[in-house]
């Protein structure tokens, strides 16, 4: 299927970028990539009108595509550089992975819901966004591909998984919303060395939960 990115979509995207800028996103590279990646490709076609509102939206299986402001905020905290090797936990629609890919990162992403993983894999390959997608449990990370420069968790974690801290390079960053059901605190953990981590807090957000390991 050919996906169309019309002037109308681009106009709506420009307004979205203005609105997230007003909400405090200052990183020019982040604003640029939000302008570049057509968010409407990641929603089912009957919901196109919602694609450029600054709101989360249902993508099926009880999951959501994160609010654009939240995507921009987490991306800004990651301080993405070209060539960064980044692991995302919670592929969902693939929008966040695509944002990181278009910024020049080497992106690996894990999704726990198999039909969603398959759907997003087909979409990203159609868009020719070369993101490496995995079906599995994000709590385990990807030991075979570690270490990573950055790790981004896009679902609410009850605690910071030790496995993910282990899979960071020294100097690497982990961005993760931590907390219980309705509200989580955005944390950025910097790995100074194997036993030394620095944590900064960045306010409250609300994510769908990171599903516990069923195995």
CB of 83 to ligand SAH, least distance (A): 21
> Residue 157 Cβ, how far from ligand SAH at the closest point, in Å?
9
Would you tell me how many other CB atoms lie within 10 Å of the CB of residue 7? 7
Angle between helices 28-36 and 95-102 (to 10 degrees): 120
Q: How far is the CB of 21 from ligand SAH (least distance, A)?
A: 20
- Phi and psi (nearest 5°) for 143? -55, -35
Q: Given the complex with ligand SAH, which of 72 and 89 has the nearer CB atom?
A: 89
Q: Which of 6, 46, 66, 93 is catalytic?
A: 66
Does residue 211 touch ligand SAH according to CB under 6 A?
Answer: yes
Nearer residue to ligand SAH within complex by CB, 119 or 191? 119
Angle between helical axes of 7-22 and 68-78 (0-180°, round to 10): 60
Q: Which is nearer to ligand SAH, 181 or 196 (CB)?
A: 181
Site string for ligand SAH, 85-124 (x = CB under 6 A): ----xx-xx-xx-------------xxxx--x--------
Between the alpha carbon of residue 148 and those of residues 106, 122, 127, 143, 195, the distances in Å are: 10, 25, 25, 10, 17
206 is catalytic: no
For residue 123, CA distances in Å to 44, 85, 130, 136 come to: 11, 22, 11, 19
Least distance in Å: CB of 128 to ligand SAH? 18
Given the rule CB under 6 A, which residues bind ligand SAH? 63-66, 89-90, 92-93, 95-96, 110-113, 116, 137-139, 154-155, 208, 210-211
């Amino acid at each position: 299927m050919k996906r169309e990115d019309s002037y109308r979509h681009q106009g709506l995207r420009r307004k979205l970028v203005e609105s997230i800028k007003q909400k405090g996103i200052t990183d020019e590279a982040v604003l640029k990539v939000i302008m570049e990646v057509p968010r409407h490709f990641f929603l089912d076609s009957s919901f196109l009108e919602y694609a450029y509102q600054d709101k989360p939206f249902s993508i099926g299986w009880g999951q959501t595509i994160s609010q654009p402001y939240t995507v921009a905020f987490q991306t800004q905290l990651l301080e993405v550089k070209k060539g960064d090797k980044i692991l995302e936990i919670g592929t969902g629609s693939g929008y966040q992975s695509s944002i990181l890919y278009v910024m020049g990162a080497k992106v690996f992403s894990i999704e726990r819901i198999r039909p969603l993983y398959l759907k997003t894999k087909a979409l990203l390959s159609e868009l020719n966004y070369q993101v490496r997608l995995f079906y599995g449990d994000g709590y385990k990370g990807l030991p075979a591909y570690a270490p990573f420069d950055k790790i981004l968790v896009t679902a609410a974690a009850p605690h910071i998984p030790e496995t993910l801290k282990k899979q960071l390079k020294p100097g690497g960053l982990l961005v993760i919303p931590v907390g219980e059901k309705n509200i989580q605190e955005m944390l950025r953990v910097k790995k100074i060395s194997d036993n030394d981590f620095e944590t900064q807090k960045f306010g409250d957000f609300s994510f769908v939960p990171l599903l516990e390991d069923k195995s």
